[in-house]
Chain A
Amino acid sequence: MTSTTTDARRSFRFPLELQIEPRMDSPRWLAPLVSLVAVLLALVMGAVVLALVGGNPFRAYAHIAGAAFGSLGVFSDTLVKATPLIFTGTACAVAFKMKLWNIGAEGQFFMGALGASIVILAGVVSEDASRFVTLLAMAVAGALFGAAWGFIPGILKARLGVNEIITTLMLNYIAFALVNYFIFGIWSEGGFQMTRTFQRAAWFPRLSDLAEQFPIMRGLTTHAGFIFAVVVAIIAWYILFRSLWGYEIRLIGDNPRAAKYAGIKITRNTVLVLMLSGGIAGLGGMSEISGVIHRLQSSISPGYGFTGIIIAWLAKLNPLLVIPVSILFGGLILAGREIQPAGVPRLIQGIILFMLIASEVFLRYRVRLVRRTA
């Protein structure tokens, strides 16, 4: 902005200024670069906080790296932690793609675990049924229970316009209480807060099962749930980007009015997509039961459902990208368990998400340093 007022009388002005203008093009390398820088900056900030609290950030981060990816055994554990994250991350990505804010992945995860457990504990499948039949029944139950937990907020939003953020959230707490009811009450094992251990047929096969043939597999805890998760993620990707339904979902997410104009039923898709999302999260719960915990107890998730939100965002709502991101976060959770104070992993996750969304501004605007026109 120029004027004919005497500039001479003004004090020294920096010869460069920031020029911000909307970006007209978007090179393909920009988005991943921006995300990467955001994550790195977030880690730096996390280090600062750690240092302030009296920890040694370098030792902590080195420890995390080693504890997550240092050896085959440790990497195997990371994959175990990544498995439920792939499920919840995919579940969130699918819902968010349609701008449905599913904050209830945690509750749907629990419901899936509950459903899978009911199959065993209520004797739906007999104790000596084959592994395949048992696992299949558990998976179906897990998916159904999770889908039901997605159906409720879906129908409330579709029919009554009720905000799904809050309903999905409230349903989390209701799911916890529901699971607790079963654990503490009906199926409590010896008065403890857990059920009996499930029969072998209800366990996912693990790499360590092959230890006799392949000694290297000894002690590796990675279980079939990981493959299951990857398959589900690929299917979800396929649905979103290669199917007609996925086209509808993406269109609704981008511009619901245009979708309506194109003849797409939004209410029906609201319910279906939340059911799909819930079902995927429910499968995650089933996978955790069959792969790791082998019983129903009150602590089956250190917040996988909520971390799934961050993963989905970091993966730009693409189920294929959810897989590597989940492995990364799986490592963080695994190693983070040993870090004091206990809130650190959550804090770092929060900083990462914040930096991510803040960094997105660079995708929409171009910032340049230009010579100030005198």
Chain B
Amino acid sequence: MDNLIEMRGITKRFPGVIANEDVDFKLRHGEIHALLGENGAGKSTLMSVLAGLYRPEAGTVLVRGNPATFNSPRDAIDLGIGMIHQHFTLIQSQTVTENILLGLDEPRFLMRLSRYDKQMAHIGDQFGLQVTPDAKIWQLSVGEQQRVEILKMLYRGVEVLIMDEPTSVLAPQEIDELFKTLRSMVAEGKSIVFISHKLHEVMTIADRITVLRQGKVTAAGIDPATTSKAELANLMVGRKVLFELEKIDREPGDVVLELAGVSADNDKRLPALRSIDLKVRSGEIVGVAGVAGNGQSELGEVITGLRTCTSGSIRVNGKDVTNRSARTSIDFGVAHIPEDRTHVGTAPNLSITDNVIMKKYRTPPIARRTLLDRDAAQKMAEGLKAEYTILAPSVETPTRMLSGGNLQRVILARELSSEPTLLIAMQPTRGLDVGAIEGVQRMLLEQRDEGAAILLVSEELEEIFTLSDRIVVVYEGEIVADGVEADAAKVGLLMTGGSHEAAEEHAA
């Protein structure tokens, strides 16, 4: 049959980069079509063009055979195309119903929410997406928020649903639920574009797969049954991808980090950590697996002095650092790779030099009594720039002009160059391309081999499995498993609250 959506020759440029180059994409009615590619390949950009957010420099879009031009997302929605973004577009302080009604011309003036509440509940039941219409968004779990996003689109009569990395915030069991929902939507006549960089998911759910690499199509509309993960990876990256990194088994040394009975609250004053006991030894990587939002961020913050704990004790190399400042943590040789590299890890308008001395500026040679030795700082920055291959015009370049990968290299240069005894790495490879990911993982292993104790928190189970000497699973602020084996099903179950016994059964 004819294609429902056809995109021909789409080219989209941003300053300094060509995001999509002469891309063709076809979507058939009633299929789940996966758009696969690594971070930065241009998948979101392409679909943003389809959803009316961007206007391409060249190319045409055909909807049901007719050419279409979109001046805004509304135009796309009018034609039945809607996109659900990776970062939800929800107003936290408003209710589910209000969010679903956002941007519509109805109700005319007065809001009679109770009538709409009933409507929303009804639609939710129709598609198997349960929601509480009068709940405020900030009260909902991430999975529930995603359901609201989907309902938003369905309410507008969208026929083509574009989902951008929908599983990045879900646990394995929630992912199964989502896949079930997608299939039932297809049964109701919807068509779905599934953007992802996760090979195994794409192989599971997709009817057809299109692969993008660096803005160009490397494979269009292939049937997953006719290909393999290795082949897809090759199409994604273009060279043999090393899934294995050299990891030598080591005997871990002394205990460097020790948490005993640590509890802490999150920003909403709700308990985020409940009586955590944890030890990390030198020369050991402890990987913390868990769905985002189960206390991992708070764990990192509490250790590095950025959050106070309400009870318990934290010791680094035997010294008590409980509730002492971030400065103390830094002085005791704790390195911290933060989750948010743009908003926390770097100062965007300051130079690479200024960013790289952030932890060391108080000590010589950068510090000369109360003054800053700029020559020493510059020399150090230049040395690090070379050592960590940071690509930038000079060390005076403001860091906001650097790409994600280079920004992370700046942070790594800063944190790793001080030969830390303890390294807290929070989502260190998030948003990086495969080459950069490999580089970061290699550096972490090097540090481990040199005796550093590393606490690794990551959303990517693959990464945890590859790097960790010991795996710990966190769920709702508690450590539910310490030293579990690298089995995705088992760990996945633990990540969503299943007990050990259930995990054993599941694996068996």
Contact = CB atoms under 8 A, between A and B. Distances in A.
A251 B358 contact: yes
A294 B58 CA distance: 72
Nearest to A257: B344
Interface string B330-351: 1000001010100111111110
Interface stretch (B77-85, B237-245, B310-318, B365-373): B365-373
Interface in B183-227: none
Contacts of B157: none
A262 B15 contact: no
B358 A2 contact: no
B439 interface: no
B69 A261 contact: no
A130 interface: no
Contact of A4 (B60, B347, B348, B401): B60
A268 to B, nearest CB: 11
Contacts of B343: 255, 257-258
B327 to A, nearest CB: 3
B39 interface: no
B60 A261 contact: no
Nearest to A262: B358
A244 B348 contact: no
Interface string B352-368: 00100111011000010
A263 B367 contact: no
A257 B343 CA distance: 7
Q: Most chain-B CB neighbours within 10 Å: which of A243, A247, A251, A261? A: A261
Nearest to B66: A4
Contact of B370 (A21, A23, A243, A263): A243
Contacts of B371: 242-244
B325 interface: yes
Interface in A237-292: 242-247, 250-251, 254-255, 257-265
A25 B394 CA distance: 12
A11 interface: no
Nearest to B54: A1
B354 A2 contact: no
A54 B254 CA distance: 85
A258 B370 contact: no
Contacts of A5: 67, 69
Nearest to A26: B398
B35 to A, nearest CB: 22
B271 interface: no
Contacts of A161: none
A66 interface: no
B190 to A, nearest CB: 26
Contact of B346 (A22, A242, A258): A258
A3 interface: yes
B16 A24 contact: yes
Given A244-B370, A261-B344, A3 B69 contact: yes
A242 to B, nearest CB: 6
B374 A242 contact: yes
Nearest to B58: A2
Contacts of A264: 327
Contact of B347 (A1, A23, A246, A255): A255
Interface of A: 1-5, 21-25, 242-247, 250-251, 254-255, 257-265, 366, 373
14 contacts: A3-B68, A25-B393, A244-B361, A244-B362, A245-B370, A250-B350, A251-B354, A258-B346, A258-B358, A260-B306, A261-B306, A261-B338, A263-B329, A373-B58
